[in-house]
Structure 1
Amino acid sequence: MTDEIIYANLKFENCYEMDTVPEPEVPKEKGLPTSSHSWWPLVLILITICLALLMGLMTLAILFSQGSKDYRTQIRDLNITKNDLHANFSKMLQAIGSQLCLGGSKDLQNNDLNCVLCPTNWKWPGDGDMCYYHSTEQKTWQQSLWFCSSQNSTLLLVKDMAKLELVKKIPKKTFWIGLSFRADKKGWFWADNTTVTEEQKSWTNNLQLPLLCGYIYNHVIYSHVCEAVDYYVCEKPAIQLQRRNNHQQEEWFVRFFQVPKDSAEGKKLQEMREALCSEGKENNETKCALCPASWQSSGADSCFYISKQKKTWKESQEFCSSRNSTLLVLKDKAKMVSLPQDSQFYWVGLSYISERNGWYWEDGTALSREAKTWTVLYEHIFCASLYGRIIYASNSCLTKQFWICEKGAIHFA
């Protein structure tokens, strides 16, 4: 029997559901994302910024280190400068104290524990704390006021009885003072902007309008036309030094301008220079010569003391020596300009030395041929005095006469 081939049809219900079954995805090859190349520029930029910041920090560190070094150097230099200024200020004070704090006469002692310093050619009356300048030229009231102001001073203020008594000692009969009438305030005012008080009216009762400026006439205050020209008197506070002992050594310090150790000595020195160096200020001169109070300047390098009392030649010599000075040494005529031209005899530092058989000055130099043209000397007379512009041999060294001392000025650069 032959095998039968039987064909059968198989029928499946819902065969469409097979069509909805998803086919499994074929796995793709693994690798880097295709978009990763876009990050490289950003990375490079970040690296560059970091390097720049690092370089900046290193630069700042170097600059800070250099700045600190420069700052320390500046501090060190400032300390050195400060020490130098302190040393220079102390040296200047000692030089000023030893050379300028001297006595003039019994009524003008200035070599005690306190010492008054005034500008050259200003006067100190022997007490008080003010310096006075007596003009040698005449100006209007306003010009006089300006001049005094240029010297860091004011026209004379006669605000108390003591100042009124001082007026009586001023040799000039007429001179401007710091008093004027102010129309805007309808009253009389002093140059320091203070009004005339009721007490002061007792010695200013001669003021009359329309004369608007005050002046002294025969020791009395009057008013005058401001455009008139007259002499004038300026006043300003004195610099006062005080002597003290420090480890058995004398030293000077500024009494009214006390200088602590940590103060600006350079500024203090400048204040002293401004107060003391009035001469030459209008010509912008950079140096000034200082002389002791009540001494006068020769206009160069010397200071002169012209006595108000009489002594023998030897007593005069001793007086000058006690003031770190000598009797006048008159080797040339240039000095004569600053000397008195009156009818008085003044001892000078010229004497006959028997051992040397000649005339010698106080500094040990012999009388020169040039000087002999203004000297009149005789034999057997041993001391000389000045009369006018001629030096004469005196009849006796025991004769009591006025005298002139001389010493070098202190230069305030």
Structure 2
Amino acid sequence: MGEEITYADLRFHDTSHFSASRIVEMNLEVASSVPNQSHCRCLKKTYMTVGIVVGVLIISLLAMTVLFFQASNKQNYYHDRIERMAQTLANVKNDLCMRNEGEQKDACLLCPMNWVLIQKKCYYMPDKMLSWQESQRFCSAQNSSLAMPKTFEELELITCNFRRWITFSLWIGLSCSLKSNGRWVWLDNTTYSSYSSQCREIRCASFDYSPLLFTTCSTKLKLICQRLPINLPSIN
């Protein structure tokens, strides 16, 4: 009986020792598994971050590629438009400028509709009868002034080109007043040196087939306007 008790005690003791040892081993296994799980989570975060960065780079690269092709297409579009416009201007130049080729040489000087090009100036004679002041206001509204033929040659050219319309005297941009100390002055403030006599009242100048005439500024006469032409540049 005593031997059985002793055997039972030893068996119980051994079982308790085995269980405690197993528990310690299991705890060690659990403890060792915790760092491994943390390490895995860190790796997952790293992979996710790298994936996001790579994705952003790919999207950026695709966006830059699309923008590059769009810019290239726009450049080609505007280049084609410029070429078409240049061709259109060349056609306009050929249509409008060749008629005055002898006078214009390399330049293309264009006058508004119903204006006449004479010696690199545009002239226009409206069908109106106005005073000198009214005539100047009318020409100003056309971005021009009353004509200022300062040489006999220029006066003769105007007369020849408008011969069939000149049936009356025409106002020109020359006048005399006390404000100019009685001198005859063109509208550009240059002095008319061919006539030295001073005026004692406001007088204005006109012309027809004969040389310059001086008359009262309120007289109703026809007029002739003058302006610079539009210079269309050469197209290579």
Gaps of 5+ in 2: 1-70
Q: Distance in 2 between matches of 1:149 and 1:88?
A: 36
Q: Shift of residue 227 of structure 1? A: 1.2
TM-score normalised according to structure 2 size: 0.55
* Number of equivalences: 159
How far, CA to CA, are the matches of 1:189 and 1:162 in structure 2? 19
For the Cα contact (< 8 Å) 1:155–1:176, is it kept in 2?
Answer: yes
Distance in 2 (alpha carbons) for counterparts of 1:242 and 1:133: 24
1:180-230: CA deviation from partner (whole Å, max 9, x where unpaired): 1232232322112x231xxx432x468854351111143311221111111
Residue 182 of structure 1 corresponds to: 177
Structure 2 CA distance for aligned equivalents of residues 120 and 100 of structure 1: 11
Structure showing the higher helix proportion among its residues: 2
Name 2:225's counterpart in structure 1: 234
CA contact 1:103–1:110 (8 Å) conserved in 2: no
> Which of 1 and 2 has higher RCO (CA within 8 Å, sep 6+)?
2
Q: Which amino acid in the other structure matches residue 130 of structure 1?
A: K
Q: Match for 1:151 among 120, 131, 142?
A: 142
Secondary structure, in 3 states, of the residue corresponding to 1:240?
Answer: strand
Q: SS at the partner of 2:207?
A: strand
Change (3 A) 1:176 1:213: same
Whichever residue aligns with residue 114 of structure 1, its letter is A
Question: Offset of 1:162 from its aligned partner?
Answer: 2.9
1:140 aligns with 2:135: no
Give 3-state SS (helix, strand or coil) of 1:152's partner.
coil
**1:100 paired residue number:** 96
Q: In 2, distance between residues paired with 1:206 and 1:87?
A: 59
CA contact (8 A) 2:159 2:208 kept: no
- Is 1:122 the counterpart of 2:115? The answer is yes
Cα deviation per residue 1:231-276 (whole Å; 9 max; x = unaligned)?
1111111223455xxxxxxxx37xxxxxxxxxxxxxxxxxxxxxxx
Deviations 1:97-121 (A, max 9, x none): 12212327xxx84685433211100
CA distance in 1, matches of 2:185, 2:201: 15
Aligned to 1:215: 206
Task: Give the strand-richer structure, 1 or 2.
Answer: 1
CA displacement, residues 75-127 of structure 1 (integer Å, 9 cap, x when unaligned) = x8xx98997995676355224212212327xxx846854332111000123xx
Seen in structure 2, the aligned counterparts of structure 1 residues 101 and 207 have a Cα distance that, compared at 3 Å, is: farther
What SS does the corresponding residue of 2:212 show, helix, strand or coil? strand
Rounded to whole Å, the distance in 2 between the matches of 1:120 and 1:91 is 23
- Per the normalisation by structure 1, the TM-score is 0.33
**Matches of 1:120 and 1:208, distance apart in 2:** 38
In structure 2, what is the equivalent of residue 201 of structure 1? 193
Q: Which amino acid aligns with 2:154?
A: K
SS at structure 2 position matched to 1:220: coil
Aligned to 2:216: 225
Distance change (3 Å), C-alpha of 1:147 and 1:154: same
- Structure 2: distance between partners of 1:99 and 1:157: 30
Bigger radius of gyration: 2
Unaligned runs of 5+ in 1: 1-75, 244-251, 254-413
- Distance between the aligned counterparts of 1:112 and 1:161, measured in 2? 24
Q: Distance in 2 between matches of 1:182 and 1:164?
A: 23
Q: Does the aligned pair in 2 maintain the 1:208–1:223 contact within 8 Å?
A: no
